[in-house]
């Protein structure tokens, strides 16, 4: 089962029009098992944008992260086009993001992918959700429960006019 961060990222990308695959086992081994698992692979057919995201809420050292993400991103480069999306050109480039706790100031990359701090990801998602406006006029579908929760929360926080226990109106 995906953690909340994987779920949120997948919902956000799918809501933006990406086709999303999650927790894909790749590199079947002859003795059983797989070489690895890719958390999120997303493709936007209109924008022709391919994205591989590995969200993690770990507290590992950067050295450990380098090793772990290198394995994930190498597997992504090896298998995403060849096995997961073989209709794309074999030389298609794509982004790889490591979404982690921490800063990207001293670590812009890890394992060959771009470091995206969790707070920056949340800000990106929050901006997209806030741009939709209040749920009464443009509710995020219930199939995206985390995004929908963000939509209501962002709207109600901006009201900030009622006391605890009061019901915000015009929602």
Model confidence, pTM: 0.88
- In which band, very low, low, confident or very high, does the pLDDT at 1 lie, cut at 50, 70 and 90? very low
Checking if the pLDDT of 161 tops 80, the result is no
Domains of the chain: 4-129 (3.40.1350.10), 132-171 (no CATH)
Question: Per DSSP, which regions of the chain are E strands?
Answer: 19-28, 34-44, 49-55, 95-100, 109-110, 113-117
Q: Which pLDDT value is given to residue 162?
A: 57
pLDDT (tens digit per residue) in 60-70: 999 999 999 99
Share of the chain above pLDDT 90, in %: 78
The arithmetic mean of pLDDT across residues 133-149, rounded, is: 91
């Amino acid at each position: 089962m995906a953690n909340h961060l994987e779920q949120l990222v997948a919902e956000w990308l799918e809501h933006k029009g990406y086709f999303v695959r999650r927790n894909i086992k790749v590199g079947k081994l002859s003795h059983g098992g797989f070489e690895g698992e890719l958390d999120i692979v997303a493709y936007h057919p209109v924008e022709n944008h391919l994205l591989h995201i590995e969200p993690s809420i770990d507290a590992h050292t950067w050295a450990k992260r380098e090793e772990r993400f290198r394995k994930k991103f190498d597997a992504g480069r090896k298998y995403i086009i060849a096995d997961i999306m073989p209709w794309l050109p074999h030389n298609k480039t794509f982004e790889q993001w490591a979404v982690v706790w921490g800063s990207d100031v001293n670590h812009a990359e890890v394992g060959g992918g771009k470091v995206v701090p969790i707070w920056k990801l949340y800000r990106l998602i929050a901006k997209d959700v806030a741009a939709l406006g209040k749920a009464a006029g443009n509710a995020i579908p219930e199939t995206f429960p985390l995004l929908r929760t963000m939509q209501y929360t962002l709207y109600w926080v901006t009201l900030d006019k009622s006391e605890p226990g009061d019901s915000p109106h015009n929602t």
